[in-house]
Amino acid sequence: MKNIVYTLLITVVLSSCSEYQKALKSEDISTKFKMGTELYDAGKYGKANRLFAQIVPQYRGKPQAEKLMYMYSNSFYKMKDYYLAGYQFERFADQYPKSEKAEEALFLGAKSFYQLSPVYSKEQKETKTAIEKLQMFINTYPDSEYLPEANILIKELDYKLERKAFEIAKLYNQIANFESEDYEASIKAFDNFLVEYPGTTFREDALYYRFDSAYKLGINSIEYKRKGRIETAIKYYDAFYKAFPESQYNTEAEKMKKELQTAIQTYSTQS
C-alpha cells in the first residue's frame, strides 16, 4: 500500500513539473496566467514569478493586468527580493491608485525598503529612504489599518540613525589619543547629536562623553588655550550633572571636575 501511495505521489509531482515546464514554453499567455495564479495561491512564488515575468508586458491595458501586477509585485516580496518588491509595489500604486490593493501595495513597498535597512554600524542610505517611503505612506493614508505598524517601523529606523550618530561621536572620543583636533571633533559631534536628537535615549551617555572630551582637551591643551578650555569643560560638567544628578558616570565625572577645578585655581592664584 505504501509503495502505491509513493508511486502516486511521484506521478503527481512529475506531472506538476511537466505542466509547469509546458506553461513556461507555451505561447499562450492565458495558460501562463492560469498556471502562475495557481502556483501563487499555493505559495510557490518563485515559479509563479517566472511565469508572471513572461506575460506582464502582454497584459498591459487588459482587465487582468491589475491582479497580475499585484501578484507579480507580491511574489518578489514573498521571495525576499525587496529591491524589486519595493519598485514593483510603487509602480502598482501609481498605476492603480483606485485599486482596493493600492493602500496595501504602497505600505508593502515602503516596508520593502525597511527590510533593506542594514545594521546601524553600516551606511544608512536605505534607512533614510525607508523613513521617507513610510512617511509618504502615512501622509497618503493617515487612517490606514497599517498605520500602527508603519509608526513602529519608523521608530526602529529612527533609532538606527540615532545610534549611528552617537557611535560616530563616541568614536572620536575613543580614538583621540590626546590630539586636540580629535577631541574638538568629538565635542562638535556630540553637540550636533544633542541638537538633532533632543529626546535621545543616549542623552546621558552623550553629555558624559562630551564632558569627557572637553576635560581631556582642556587638561592636555597648550598653555595659551588651556584656561579657556578648562572653563568650557567645567560648563559641560555642570550641564551633565544638572541633567543627570544620579548618573552612573558620576564617580568618574566628579574626579575629572575636581582636577579641572584644581587646574583653574592655578590661574586664579597667578592673577
Q: What is the pTM of this model?
A: 0.82
Give the single-character DSSP code of 178. Answer: T
Cβ count near 19 (within 10 Å): 13
Domains of the chain: 15-160 (1.25.40.10), 176-269 (1.25.40.10)
Percent above pLDDT 70 for the chain: 90
Cβ count near 27 (within 10 Å): 6
* pLDDT tens sequence across 144-190: 999 999 999 999 999 999 999 999 989 888 886 655 678 899 999 99
d(CA 92, CA 60): 12
d(CA 178, CA 40): 62
Q: What is the pLDDT along the chain (271 residues), one digit of tens a residue?
A: 554 444 444 444 444 568 899 988 888 999 999 999 999 999 999 999 999 999 999 999 899 999 999 999 999 999 999 999 999 999 999 999 999 999 999 999 999 999 999 999 999 999 999 999 999 999 999 999 999 999 999 999 999 999 999 999 898 888 866 556 788 999 999 999 999 999 999 999 999 999 999 999 999 888 888 999 999 999 999 999 999 999 999 999 999 999 999 988 877 655 5
pLDDT value of residue 174 = 85
Q: What are the grid coordinates assigned to 8, written together?
A: 502516486
- Contact present, 210 and 243 (Cβ < 8 Å): no
Q: Which residues contact 24 (CB under 8 A, 6 or more apart)?
A: 32, 50, 51, 54
pLDDT value of residue 176 = 67
Instruction: Round the average pLDDT of the chain to a whole number and report it.
Output: 90
How much is the CA Rg of the chain, to the nearest whole Å?
A: 30
Which element (helix H / strand E) includes 4? helix 2-25
pLDDT value of residue 9 = 42
Got the DSSP string for 49-118? HHHHHHHTGGGTTSTTHHHHHHHHHHHHHHTT-HHHHHHHHHHHHHH-TTSTTHHHHHHHHHHHHHHH--
Q: Which residues contact 189 (CB under 8 A, 6 or more apart)?
A: 165, 168, 169, 172
Q: What are the grid coordinates assigned to 85, written together?
A: 518588491
Give the single-character DSSP code of 271. Answer: -
Q: Which residues contact 112 (CB under 8 A, 6 or more apart)?
A: 77, 82, 83, 85, 86, 89
pLDDT value of residue 147 = 98
Furthest C-alpha separation in the chain: 106
pLDDT value of residue 153 = 98
Burial class of residue 108 in the structure, from the number of CB atoms within 10 Å of its CB (0-12 exposed, 13-18 middle, 19+ buried):
buried
Phi-psi region of 131 (alpha: psi -120 to 50; beta: other; left: phi over 0): alpha
Task: Tell me which amino acid residue 121 is.
Answer: S
pLDDT value of residue 177 = 62
